[in-house]
Amino acid sequence: MTYSEGIYVDTITGFTTGATSGDVINFDYTNLDLAAAGGIFAHAVSLANGAGTAVAAPAAGSVAVITGATTLGTQNVIVLSGATFSSTADVEDAVETGGAFALTGSNTAFDTQYKAYVVVYSDGTSTHIAAIEALAQTADNTVFEAGDTKVTDLAVITGVATIGSTTFVDGNFAFI
């Protein structure tokens, strides 16, 4: 699968979710935290958790499963549960101020320009693993204002159409 900007998106089939015998998505930290432009990012970015604090590898996944507007803690994977999104633009709108899943960080470092976050969402048929990038910082606060984010798909998990409160757990993600 090729993303609209020419970036290849991995397709994962047969992924087992959950803690008992679930599969693991290993994020290569060097591709998500960049000192210079490269990969999916047009400039240097810093991979961060819900507090806006840098995520250093190796790190275990720490999942925040949310069902609406939420203040995040220090989780490094944000899972949007109970809704479907038809495009990355819909996810952007949902996580920005006024959106159904508006994210609030636990300190003002959260919305700093060029921070990146891992997000998981469903389109009703498959589950998408994506990066939220803070492209702008309209105001120095703890939220993304309208137009401040860009969401880019990294992978699509076929066969996982809906996301419930326990579909994805910490053990399904790792940063290496």
Give 111-154 pLDDT, tens digit per residue. 888 888 999 999 999 999 999 998 878 877 888 889 999 999 99
Q: Is the pLDDT of residue 89 over 70?
A: yes
Q: DSSP state, 171?
A: G
| CA within 13 Å, CB half, 46 | 15
Average pLDDT value for residue range 1-9 = 52
Do 172 and 63 meet the contact criterion of CB atoms below 8 Å apart? yes
Q: What is the mean pLDDT of the chain?
A: 88
Tokens describing residue 12: 């994962």
DSSP 40-62: TBSS-BEEB-TTSPBP-SSEE--
Give 27-86 pLDDT, tens digit per residue. 887 777 666 666 677 777 888 888 888 888 888 999 999 999 999 999 999 999 999 999
Q: Is the pLDDT of residue 5 over 60?
A: no
Judged by DSSP in three states, 90 sits in helix
